[in-house]
């Protein structure tokens, strides 16, 4: 772990093991927020199975399903984010925000947490603000290389801010920052000795180069359009493609191409076993969410990132540039992808030296034990307070 935090006279907990604590973890909205949050909860339980953990999320968002499936209780707030490009969709925002803060105060009163963790997402702001009003110590887990407005504002009263990228002192008080990395799903990055079995399971050749294209569980329209535009080139190059379309796009693509379009092309709605997909790949094409980047650093494969332009503060582009600047990834802009992406990946497949350099450099950025480090910091703030 690389730490930027100034030394403090803290009462240290041996390996984070103390008596049972009550902890609220707030946030969600996307898998990129939820899965790290669950990883932190699991790490806390590993430290002490008697820790009581409550999640607070946003009603109608995927955390309301994923968190109970992971075995944890969750309470939903009626909160939404600012809707860019539509004034009318924001009319109810102030009302929902006030209502959510009031409910968060009630949750804190009832649960009596020793500490609160904010992982980002709609529910994180109201819950952390309520914690600050009640004097409950809280930790912010900032996943991106460019901090959002809410986290910057809430950082003033945070005990600790766990980050995944260098240079975060431009957003947060330097003495509160610890570089921990982003928690990942351990089962997704466990790829050792799985390449051959993965390719055989997917009915692909072990003698051909393989491209993994993934736009997340919902999918990425730009990536899918880019593949469609480059199918003839991919087939002519005799390379294999594991094409994860996402649920929004799968039906239309299969209707156009058929499920068994070509022996070299595997069209899949969702990848339940990311470890097998990662293991099979020689090159990966992906969006640039912070959680995805954390996984890519651990698996040490060459990557072409196509950042989504449809996110707050364009943080995916900033995440991708943090890797590009150290020659740890390649970047193709969303607006250029349909024209250039497939040519770029085919060039990379022909350049073994470039692939090795990218794989080696991205691997140097890996912080594989982020969940455990963050969990210990959460317990630490309960001791310090």
Per-residue pLDDT of 317-332, as tens digits, reads: 999 999 999 999 999 9
Q: What count of other Cβ atoms lies within 10 Å of the Cβ of residue 324?
A: 15
Residue 1 has what pLDDT? 40
Distance separating the N- and C-terminal Cα atoms of the chain: 24
Residue 2 has what pLDDT? 44
Whether residues 137 and 260 share a domain: the answer is no
Whole domain around residue 161: which residue ranges?
A: 14-183+368-384
Compute the distance between CA of residue 163 and CA of residue 23 in angstroms, rounded to an integer: 20
| Nearest residue to 183 (alpha-carbon basis) of 46, 73, 295 | 295
* Stated pTM of the model: 0.85
Compute the distance between CA of residue 286 and CA of residue 304 in angstroms, rounded to an integer: 7
Whether residues 204 and 224 share a domain: the answer is yes
Whether residues 155 and 52 share a domain: the answer is yes
Look at residue 116 and tell me if it is in a domain: yes
Whether residues 118 and 205 share a domain: the answer is no
Residue 3 is labelled as binding a ligand = no
Which DSSP helix (H) or strand (E) runs through 57? Answer: strand 52-58
Q: Which residue bears the tokens 């935090």?
A: 5
> Where is average pLDDT lowest: 101-110, 113-122, 146-155?
146-155
Residue 366 has pLDDT above 60, yes or no: yes
Residue 226 is labelled as binding a ligand = no
Say which DSSP state 114 is in: S
Whether residues 156 and 206 share a domain: the answer is no
What is the total residue count of the chain? 385
Residue 224 has what pLDDT? 94
Number of domains forming the structure of the chain = 2
Locate 72 and state its tokens.
């944890």
Task: Give Cα 148 to chain centroid, integer Å.
Answer: 15
Look at residue 234 and tell me if it is in a domain: yes
Residue 113 has pLDDT above 80, yes or no: yes
Whether residues 82 and 158 share a domain: the answer is yes
Residue 42 is labelled as binding a ligand = no
The predicted model gives 82-106 an average pLDDT of 76
Whether residues 168 and 213 share a domain: the answer is no
The enclosing domain of 53 has a CATH number of 3.40.50.2000
Whether residues 379 and 353 share a domain: the answer is no
Locate 334 and state its tokens.
């969303």
Q: What count of other Cβ atoms lies within 10 Å of the Cβ of residue 350?
A: 10
Residue 185 is labelled as binding a ligand = yes
Whether residues 55 and 142 share a domain: the answer is yes
> Where is average pLDDT lowest: 87-96, 204-213, 281-290?
87-96
Residue 316 is labelled as binding a ligand = yes
Whether residues 157 and 212 share a domain: the answer is no
Whether residues 105 and 212 share a domain: the answer is no
Whether residues 91 and 106 share a domain: the answer is yes
């Amino acid at each position: 772990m690389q730490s930027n935090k100034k030394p403090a006279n803290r009462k240290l907990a041996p390996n984070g093991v103390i008596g049972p604590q009550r902890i609220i973890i707030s946030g969600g909205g996307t898998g990129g927020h939820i899965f790290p949050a669950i990883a932190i909860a699991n790490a806390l339980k590993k430290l002490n199975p008697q820790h009581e953990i409550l999640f607070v999320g946003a009603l109608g968002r995927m955390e309301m399903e994923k968190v109970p499936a992971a075995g944890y209780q969750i309470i939903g707030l009626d909160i939404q984010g600012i809707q860019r490009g539509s004034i009318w969709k924001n009319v109810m925002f102030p009302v929902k925000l006030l209502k959510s803060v009031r409910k968060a105060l009630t949750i804190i009163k009832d649960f009596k947490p020793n500490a609160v963790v904010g992982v980002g997402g709609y529910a994180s702001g109201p819950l952390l603000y309520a914690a600050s009003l009640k004097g409950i110590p809280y930790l912010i887990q900032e996943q991106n290389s460019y901090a959002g407005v809410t986290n910057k504002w809430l950082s003033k009263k945070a005990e600790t801010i766990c980050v995944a990228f260098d240079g975060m002192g431009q957003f947060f008080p330097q003495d509160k920052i610890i570089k921990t990395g982003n928690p990942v799903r351990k089962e997704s990055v466990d790829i050792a000795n799985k390449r051959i079995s993965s390719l055989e399971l997917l009915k692909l050749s072990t003698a051909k180069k393989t491209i993994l294209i993934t736009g997340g569980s919902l999918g990425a329209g730009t990536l899918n359009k880019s593949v469609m535009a480059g199918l003839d080139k991919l087939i002519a190059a005799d390379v294999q493609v594991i094409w994860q379309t996402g649920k929004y796009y799968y039906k239309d693509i299969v209707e156009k191409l058929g499920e068994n379009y070509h022996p070299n092309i595997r069209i899949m709605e969702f990848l339940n076993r990311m470890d097998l997909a990662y293991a099979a790949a020689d090159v990966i094409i992906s969006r640039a969410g912070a959680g995805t980047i954390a996984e890519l650093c651990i698996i040490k494969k060459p990557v072409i990132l196509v950042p989504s332009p449809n996110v707050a503060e364009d943080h995916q582009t900033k995440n991708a540039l943090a890797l590009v600047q150290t020659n740890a990834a390649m970047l193709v802009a969303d607006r250029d992808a349909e024209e250039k992406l497939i040519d770029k990946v085919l060039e990379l497949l022909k350049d073994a030296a470039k692939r090795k350099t990218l794989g080696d450099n991205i691997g140097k950025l890996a912080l594989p034990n982020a969940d455990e480090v963050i969990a210990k910091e959460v317990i630490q703030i309960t001791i310090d307070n």
